[in-house]
Structure 1
Amino acid sequence: MKEIINTSMAPKPGGHFSQATKKNNTVYVAGQAPVDIKTGKVPETIEEQTRVALTNVKNVLEAAGGSLEDVVKVNTYLTNLDDFEIYDKVYQEFFTDNLPARTTIGCDLKGIPLEIDAIAEL
């Protein structure tokens, strides 16, 4: 049976989808934008945007009973691929060992600078 995961510790979805779904021991975290849940705003710098988006991923995983250590795959969507080095440096703060597979794609996100989703195996 599929379980819908929702938490007040991450932004509400901007469309008709869940923050995450859990099936057996696998958690699929929907793309998390860099929206600060305290202010409702997107920070100015790519460093803070990355930090906020990854914190949102972490908070959704925790609501599902997991952690960043459980992540096996990350997809990142960047509006500006020139931000990759800065994004990658902040990413390393969240994933130090036990590195998941990752794909980074440049795309137009219509109003947000980046979005990060993840798959975790609990």
Structure 2
Amino acid sequence: MKLVQSAELPVPAGHYSQAVEANGLVFVSGILPSAGAVDALVDGFDAQCASVFDQAEKVLRAAGCGVCDVVQCTAYLVGVEHWPAFNVLYAGVFGPHKPARAVVPVPALHFGYLIEVQLIARKPAA
């Protein structure tokens, strides 16, 4: 098991890694739109979604992957009303690539955030 840490993002404050590489897969921990700065709450669902996927791309890059290598995405959304906007933003990030996906409406997330995303990617053949 190899721990992955993007130099572009703060080290996680909790007892976890940004991602872990194991057996040719990269498991990206749940990403909130904070980038480590809880007091800098990004306003609005679209901006929070963009922040989460920007961070995800940085973690994937640190692992030697890109969004085209993502095989599974789980998104936790506060309120089902954000689902249509998420679909549009998600399609913008992944384009024609369509990983397996689960969208889970939840009543609340830590610090009042509206979205959290967790990913699994495959390491490209070297």
Whether contact under 8 Å (2:72, 2:120) holds in the other structure is yes
Q: TM-score, normalised by structure 1?
A: 0.90
How far is the alpha carbon of 1:13 from its aligned partner? 2.4
1:65–1:71 CA distance, 2 compared to 1 (3 A): same
- Residue aligning to 1:41: 40
Aligned: 1:55 with 2:81 = no
Give 3-state SS (helix, strand or coil) of 1:87's partner.
helix
Task: Give the AA of the match of 1:18.
Answer: S
1:9–1:26 CA distance, 2 compared to 1 (3 A): same
- Residue aligning to 2:75: 76
Task: Report the count of equivalent residues.
Answer: 121
Segments of 5+ residues of structure 1 without an aligned counterpart are none
Q: TM-score, normalised by structure 2?
A: 0.87
Considering only aligned residues, what root-mean-square deviation do their CA atoms show, in Å? 1.9
Segments of 5+ residues of structure 2 without an aligned counterpart are none
Q: 1:1-122, aligned counterparts within 5 Å? A: 2-36=1-35, 41-107=40-106, 108-111=108-111, 112-122=113-123
Runs of 4+ in structure 1 displaced over 3 angstroms?
A: 36-40
1:8–1:42 CA distance, 2 compared to 1 (3 A): farther
Whether contact under 8 Å (1:11, 1:35) holds in the other structure is no
1:80–1:58 CA distance, 2 compared to 1 (3 A): same
Identity value in percent: 26
